[in-house]
């Protein structure tokens, strides 16, 4: 019933990247936020961007989603050089960002939230009316696919858990044709159960051929779903590793720069 029932299975590693960002630099006045970061994303893969606070993760994804323009470096979107003037350009191209907050309105129903800003309309007597029946049907269907059981499409988003809200936001982005989904710390405020729900959602979205950029500073969450891992530290790429090539400990060391954590390791007993 929707276009989303077409799946694009296939080995992610063989396909050409949807987006390729080469040697991106971003300076804010005298502050060098990004000092040459390279990154690419293929359809159907989950590429984790890891880094400690202040590593430049946020600046980098804002560059990708059109909020910032890079000071130097190039962005290729589907192999064509791309210059996003503002976030609208990026959204139009199919780059959707799901923020941890500011995505859902608790007082509104799930279906009204799902179609907020993209309401389907139906012409009756020459006037465009909001096609609520269609919106309700699509919402129920999409939520069912993501494994969320709603009482009804009129259920308010406020009654959903944090993880379910993330899932609704992700499902919405995918339904409206996102090719790249940027998830900015989607799991950082969630409990164990809810985190696993969100990670399962990422897995479902990836299997539909959407490229996922997963930003986190939690190594275990990243390792649970990631296909590739890029670590940022002090505005630079410390390298990209494929799944299975790197251990949690190595990843953790890369993120923190190694030194300080080694001393803490003993008392904390493993990964943080």
Partner 1 sequence: MAESAQSAMGGDERIKEISPLRRALIRPELGGMVGTVAVFTFFLLFAFDSGMFNAQGVMNWSIVSAQFMIIAVGACLLMIAGEFDLSVGSMIGFAGMMIAIFSVTLSWPVWMAIIVTFALCIFIGAVNGYIVVRTGLPSFIVTLAFLFILRGFTIYLPQTIERKTIIGGIRDVAEGDWLAAVFGGKVGQGLFVWLGDAGIIETFERGTRAGQPVVDGIPMLIIWALAIILFGHILLTKTKFGNWIFAAGGDAEAARNSGVPVNRVKILMFMFTAFCATVFATCQVMEFGSAGADRGLLKEFEAIIAVVIGGALLTGGYGSVLGAALGALIFGVVQQGLFFAGVESSLFRVFLGVILLGAVILNTYIRRIITGER
- Give the Cβ contact number of residue 266 at 10 Å: 8
Could you give the 3-state DSSP secondary structure of residue 55? coil
Binding site for partner 1 (CB under 8 A): 1, 91, 99, 102-108, 112, 115-119, 121, 128-130, 132, 136-137, 140-141, 143-144, 149-152, 156, 158-160
Least distance CB 28 / partner 1 (angstroms): 23
Task: Report d(CA 47, CA 208) in Å as an integer.
Answer: 15
* Residue 80 or 123 having the CB closest to partner 1: 123
Strand partners, 25: 35, 72
Task: Report d(CA 22, CA 203) in Å as an integer.
Answer: 27
Least distance CB 14 / partner 1 (angstroms): 34
Task: Report d(CA 212, CA 232) in Å as an integer.
Answer: 17
* Residue 159 or 247 having the CB closest to partner 1: 159
Least distance CB 100 / partner 1 (angstroms): 12
Least distance CB 207 / partner 1 (angstroms): 20
Task: Report d(CA 61, CA 257) in Å as an integer.
Answer: 21
* Residue 78 or 119 having the CB closest to partner 1: 119
* Residue 72 or 105 having the CB closest to partner 1: 105
Burial annotation 49-88 (CB, 10 A radius, 16+ → b, else e): bbbeeebbbbbbbbbbbbebebeebebbbeeeebebeeee
* Residue 88 or 242 having the CB closest to partner 1: 88
Least distance CB 120 / partner 1 (angstroms): 9
């Amino acid at each position: 019933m929707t276009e989303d029932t077409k799946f694009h299975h296939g080995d992610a590693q063989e396909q050409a990247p949807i987006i390729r960002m080469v040697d991106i630099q971003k300076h804010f006045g005298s502050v060098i936020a990004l000092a040459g970061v390279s990154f690419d994303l293929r359809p159907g893969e989950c590429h984790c961007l890891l880094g400690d606070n202040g590593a430049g993760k946020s600046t980098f994804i804002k560059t990708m989603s059109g909020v910032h323009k890079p000071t130097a470096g190039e962005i290729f979107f589907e192999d064509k050089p791309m210059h996003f003037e503002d976030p609208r350009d990026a959204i139009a191209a199919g780059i959707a960002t799901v923020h941890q907050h500011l995505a859902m309105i608790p007082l509104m129903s799930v279906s009204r939230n799902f179609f907020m800003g993209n309401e389907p309309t139906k012409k009756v007597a020459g006037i465009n009316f909001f096609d609520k029946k269609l919106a309700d049907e699509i919402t129920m269907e999409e939520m069912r696919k993501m494994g969320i059981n709603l009482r009804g499409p009129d259920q308010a988003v406020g009654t959903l858990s944090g993880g379910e809200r993330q899932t609704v936001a992700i499902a919405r982005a995918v339904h409206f044709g996102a090719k790249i989904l940027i998830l900015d710390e989607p799991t950082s405020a969630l409990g164990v159960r809810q985190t696993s729900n969100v990670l399962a959602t990422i897995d479902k979205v990836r299997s539909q051929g959407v490229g996922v950029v997963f930003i986190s500073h939690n190594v275990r969450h990243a390792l649970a779903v990631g296909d590739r891992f890029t670590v940022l530290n002090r505005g630079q790429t410390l390298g990209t590793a494929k799944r299975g090539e790197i251990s949690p400990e190595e990843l953790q060391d890369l993120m923190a720069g190694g030194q300080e954590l080694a001393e803490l390791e003993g008392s904390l007993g493993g990964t943080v």
